[in-house]
A and B are shown apart, each in its own frame.
Chain A
Amino acid sequence: MAPQNLFSVSIFFIVFRETLEAVIIVSVLLGLVEQIVHGDIDQLTTVAQYYQPSPAQQNDSETTTPEGESDVTAKRRLIRKLRFQVFAGAGIGLFLSFALGAAFIAVWFTKASNLWAKAENLWEGIFELIACWMILVMGITMLKLDRAKAKWRVKLQRAFSDQHVDRGTRTGKWVLFILPMITVLREGIEAVVFVGGVALGQPAESIPIAAIVGLACGLICGYLIYQFASRSTLTIFLIVMTNLILLIGAGLFSKAIWSFQEYAFNNMLGQDVDDSGGDGPGSYNVRGNVWHLECCNPETDMSWGIFNAVLGWTNSATLGSVLSYVFYWLLVIAVLVRMKFQEGRTKLFGWESAAGTRRRLASEKRAEEAASDEKASPAISTIESVSSPTELPL
């Protein structure tokens, strides 16, 4: 059995990525727990106000003040209790999403898989096509994962404050259970959708090991990153992961086109399809062939199968498979350039996007304010040195 039949690399990455995001959410929640206990939850309702006049001030307003010894033990107990809630919620969310995923996959592979047994290459191509687009979306959004911590922090704080306002304090007690459960469930469902999409073309037995390993790696990496690493380390880590995942995606797109062409070729051969066998002349379509090696067949050779799963290797490349590989990467480049431009992070040939103008104006304004502040009180440093106001220790 080919190795990719037991371990789906793409599924590994999808589970890994979604786990990582879930870990980020949980870590933000754990930070919030401390904030809730040490500070006042009501303060969070006005979290938006922190950002309005001056970042230096909000830093001050948020800092917790030391209190009495007995208070500290009580708070610690409360923190433990709330952390338990967070973990329980996340755990149940994880379990539910796993159950959902398992049910989905079970139904898919027992009921639906025989739909495409006849035209295997056609369906493989379709599924690979779906998978490679999902991977493109996922890989590119993964690059923004280093911003996820801040994003989730704001979102969750808003959620807390809304809870407080709407439901009162009694139900607010369960918020720390329900929130992680729902967010993890949400990430889990997303993962299931992705895994399902990618797994369509792959044998059922390739999913569990890849999913479990992806889950474990995601948990470990998430823990390590939030225990030890800075945002820039996370950025580097995400760059590496994204590149790996995009390599897989490009390979999948190339394979999808290859599968369509193989399907068309086999269709044309009809009954003669198994006549020649092997990898030699006659086993492939010479028209549009770019390279053909009489070895290294990923479908029959274990090691080349891994090469195929990771990089989309084929011993019989076609014009279509080569061009699709190239165009996938060109698309990635185009999307990333456009995104960075629209985020206002770069200029293109001297042009600036709306966001770019906004950012430039904002930073000019801040620089101005900093300059005037500096005049007023030289002790306070520039904006760059100020740590994020809601950055919380774990």
Chain B
Amino acid sequence: MWCRQLLPLLALLSPALAGVQELWWNVTYVENANPDGLFERRVVGVNGTWPPPPIEVNNTDSLLVHVTNSIDTLATLHHHGMFFNSTSWMDGAIGVAQCGIPMGQTFDYVVPINTSGQVGTYWAHGHANGIYVDGLRTPLLLHSANETYGADYDAEFTIMLSDWYHQEHTVLMESFISIANPGGAEPIPDAALIYFSQNGSYLPPISGSHPSPVTSAVGFNENSTLPFEPGKTYRLRIINMGAFAGFYFWIDGHEMQIIEVDGTDTLPQPADVLSLAVAQRYSVLVTARNDTSSNWAIHANMDTSMFDKVPSTLNPNITSTITYSASANTTNLTTISSYTLVNDTSLVPFAALPAPNPTDTLDLVFNFATMNDGTNHGYINDLVYNSPVVPAIISALTLGDNATSQVAYGPYSFVYNYGDVIDLVVMNADKGKHPFHLHGYKMQIVNTATDYTSDDPSLNPPLVEGQANPMRRDTVTIPGGGHIEWHLDSGLAVQFITAPLQIQEQAQGRVPSFLYDQCTALGIPASGNAAGYASPTDLSGLPLGPWFQKLGWLTKGILAMAGCVLTAVLGILTVVWYSAMGGTITEEEIEEAVLKRIEEKERKGKFFGLIKKKT
């Protein structure tokens, strides 16, 4: 996989036409939301509504989102897939790019869409304490006046897929990272959601349905529908905005042509079924049927192979409809013979970009294990990720010349130079498949192995260098086995710091003061290395661990075993002492004692027991 610096070229584009699309987002709780019709719960919404409004931006504008935190935990907003060349403090990842917005404060996110050259389907979501799992997520569409396939469709819809939990993220985390869950079974969703948007607003529920009042403006699942007109061609942008579950997506009676993947336009490729890991997006062209005699089912099935079990109360397969005529019946073919994953390496980007020669190779092996505190954690290269005390961006900005020290950012960090091309080899040692997401970059997928330990070239093909136009996307599924919220929470992450000295140079006078102020407000050092010291190496107090369990004969085990053996030997010696060492009772004494006892019994009138009774 190439991780390539696309940005230097794109930065040259003129920002002359730039406007600003400005949004004021007050992150609030919304009570009693019940999108699946099964359970009312508190969700995290925006300006008192849920779901948060969809964001659609022209690529001539930059996006400015004023995010105010009105919930009782830290908040951030991450624009997934966006490049923040030279302004990476705007990325929104808590603990990496910022300290988190304290309650009542505001962080102004500037997304330089006008200069990033990005177009396509993205999404925005909270990136702190799982608030996106609790609802803070919305599509982010970047439109261009000259779309690659702009002439090929008449209208477009956005389709949001998501798993849905009835418990809040903090509650789920307590049971997930818990000594009672040593196997690390991820929380299993309680439902799945599908809903639609168009031109920046959600599609309403079908008439005659009785949606929950809190979300009555939005149609979910069987209450939702896409209105199709015969003969027209639609662009459907499908986003998996969930926390855990992958989705299989298809439409009965209609064919799909993939034209965009994670913001990369591709040559058209037909697909029967789309497979979307969490955070992945596809755009497909779908041509409406010419007859209006029937409406057709839209299917979104959760990939239950990732669940440790499928509870009987969970319906993993949800449907919506395409409506041609309100009076027509719906054709629902329901079953599918087998799921196939979209082979994204076979997709070809529309704009050819040859794979550069890597300047460096980085192997990342990730897996999960029960750690020495009894909880299950993800780890990469044998290390569980913990957020550093000081976010890496702030370290890079404030460490001066020490910013080039890889050690300063914590042991889970990798420092690269400007323009480095990294051959990132991500190896999944776990059974399940895992989506892998790199903030601020697109990765070129140059090779995929089903089993990286295999010698079989069909399972572990050799890397072909110098590929003319490998597929590139920001969220890649690593087979066997990221962007699964639970795994991020459990420590499955590393951080890359690219060109820290250039970051400092370009940041001169551009870093908003609230970046530092909010850290200070939270009692977090606003400068220094990962542990908050102005030192390239002193990391004392940096949260690390838990660590791998150490098995076998440790000191305490040896001592315990010695103690057991010692007391057993003492006991055995006592037995010997009791029987054989001194104080021997002679036969006479025994007989005397027995006789005495018998006489005593007789005197008491209770006769000698069994013998007398039976005879």
User: Which residues of A approach B to under 8 Å, CB–CB?
Assistant: 48, 51, 55, 143, 146-147, 150-151, 153-155, 158-159, 162-163, 167, 171, 175, 178-179, 182, 186, 231, 235-236, 238-239, 242-243, 246-247, 250, 268-272, 275-276, 280-283, 285-287, 290-294, 317, 322, 325-326, 329-330, 332-333, 336-337, 339-340, 343-346, 359, 362, 388-391
B interface, size bucket: 35 or more
**Which single residue of chain B is at the shortest CB-CB distance from A355?**
B593
CB distance B574 to A336 under 8 Å?
A: yes
Tell me the B568-602 residues at the A interface (CB within 8 Å): 568, 570-572, 574-580, 582-585, 587-592, 594-595, 598-599
CB distance A143 to B578 under 8 Å?
A: yes
Per the bound structure, the CA–CA distance linking A128 and B583 in Å amounts to 34
Task: Please give me the 3 A-B residue pairs with the lowest Cβ-Cβ distance, nearest first.
Answer: A345-B583, A275-B183, A291-B557
- Quick one: given A162-B612, A326-B563, are A287 and B575 in contact (CB under 8 Å)? no
Number of A-B contacts (CB under 8 A): 190
CB distance A186 to B610 under 8 Å?
A: yes
CB distance A390 to B591 under 8 Å?
A: yes
Using A150-B591, A272-B185, A281-B548 as known contacts, list a sample of 12 further A-B pairs with CB atoms less than 8 Å apart, ordered by residue number in A: A154-B590, A163-B615, A178-B615, A268-B179, A269-B182, A272-B180, A272-B181, A281-B182, A292-B549, A329-B570, A330-B567, A340-B577
**In terms of DSSP, what is the predominant structure of the interface of chain B?**
helix
Q: Is B309 positioned at the interface, with any CB of A under 8 Å from its CB?
A: yes
User: Which residues of B approach A to under 8 Å, CB–CB?
Assistant: 179-185, 308-309, 369-374, 376, 548-549, 551-554, 556-558, 560-561, 563-564, 567-568, 570-572, 574-580, 582-585, 587-592, 594-595, 598-599, 608, 610-612, 614-615
Q: How far is the CB of B613 from chain A (nearest CB, A)?
A: 9
- CB neighbours of A343 from chain B (8 A): 583, 585
**Which single residue of chain B is at the shortest CB-CB distance from A317?**
B560
Per the bound structure, the CA–CA distance linking A346 and B582 in Å amounts to 8
Interface core residue of B556, B587, B610 (most chain A CB under 10 Å): B587
Per the bound structure, the CA–CA distance linking A243 and B369 in Å amounts to 42
- CB neighbours of A269 from chain B (8 A): 180-182
CB distance B575 to A336 under 8 Å?
A: yes
- CB neighbours of A282 from chain B (8 A): 182-184, 369-370, 376
Per the bound structure, the CA–CA distance linking A167 and B551 in Å amounts to 72
**Which single residue of chain B is at the shortest CB-CB distance from A345?**
B583
**Which single residue of chain A is at the shortest CB-CB distance from B552?**
A293
CB distance A285 to B598 under 8 Å?
A: no
- CB neighbours of A154 from chain B (8 A): 590-591, 594-595, 598
**Which single residue of chain B is at the shortest CB-CB distance from A287?**
B374
Return 26 A-B CB contacts under 8 Å, by A number. Answer: A143-B575, A147-B585, A158-B595, A243-B571, A243-B576, A246-B575, A269-B182, A270-B180, A275-B184, A275-B185, A280-B551, A281-B370, A286-B549, A287-B374, A291-B556, A294-B552, A322-B563, A329-B571, A333-B570, A333-B571, A336-B577, A336-B578, A337-B578, A359-B589, A388-B588, A391-B587
CB distance B564 to A325 under 8 Å?
A: yes
Q: How far is the CB of A154 from chain B (nearest CB, A)?
A: 4
Per the bound structure, the CA–CA distance linking A359 and B589 in Å amounts to 9
Per the bound structure, the CA–CA distance linking A150 and B592 in Å amounts to 10
CB distance B579 to A150 under 8 Å?
A: no
- CB neighbours of A346 from chain B (8 A): 582-583
- CB neighbours of A155 from chain B (8 A): 594, 598, 608
Q: How far is the CB of A241 from chain B (nearest CB, A)?
A: 10
